[in-house]
Amino acid sequence: MPNLHWVMRNRKTVSSSNAKVTSARTSRTRNPVNQSSTARSRCGIPGPEMSEGQIVLSIYNTLTKSKEVFKPLDGNKVRMYVCGMTVYDYCHLGHGRSMVAFDLVTRWLRFSGYDLTYVRNITDIDDKIINRARDNGESFDALTARMIDAMHEDEARLNILKPDMEPRATDHIPGMHAMIQTLIDK
């Protein structure tokens, strides 16, 4: 879970375990006629001249060990990869928290005008899945199909946006083997 910090020009802050949302009140008047969507919103694309009340996303950079203002590497294109569920059981509160958190980030990025590609993987094979399937007397394919369907139902109930792509680990095992072999060869 990334350490998110929404920065705005005010001191009123609402905190959670590792995220902070800072709200702002602006006194400026808005004329909705002939304004772009970013001018009408307070969620404009961050730039060197941030206007009062504009929301800017800061992300903790583990390399520099500091929060940095989010800036796309490729113009307006943003690629977000999120580790999804290991589907051996039904979703729990932690899964829901992750889904809601990244749904919020997804919605903010798109609302702010970024061209987002959101990928969230599904781990559909591992020891927990194999053991649970054996305990249930079913194939791991049947177990994971059932749990993925349940996960999607939970997402729909929470009004979570679907990712653009949802690759499954089992679809990429040959590529994983090739990467492992490359590491062994080095």
d(CA 18, CA 106): 18
- Residue 70 CB partners (closer than 8 Å, separation 6+): 46, 56, 57, 58, 59
Whether the per-residue pLDDT at 15 is higher than 60: the answer is no
Q: What is the pLDDT of residues 138-174, one digit of tens each?
A: 999 999 999 999 999 999 999 999 999 999 999 999 9
Architecture of the 73-174 domain: 3-Layer(aba) Sandwich (3.40)
pLDDT for res 124? 96
- Return mean pLDDT, the chain: 80
pLDDT for res 52? 63
Which residues on neighbouring strands pair with residue 120, listed in sequence order?
82
What does the domain layout of the chain look like in residue ranges? 1-71, 73-174
Q: What is the pLDDT of residues 22-36, one digit of tens each?
A: 333 333 334 333 334
pLDDT for res 60? 93
Q: Which has the higher per-residue pLDDT, 56 or 102?
A: 102
Residue with tokens 């702002």: 24
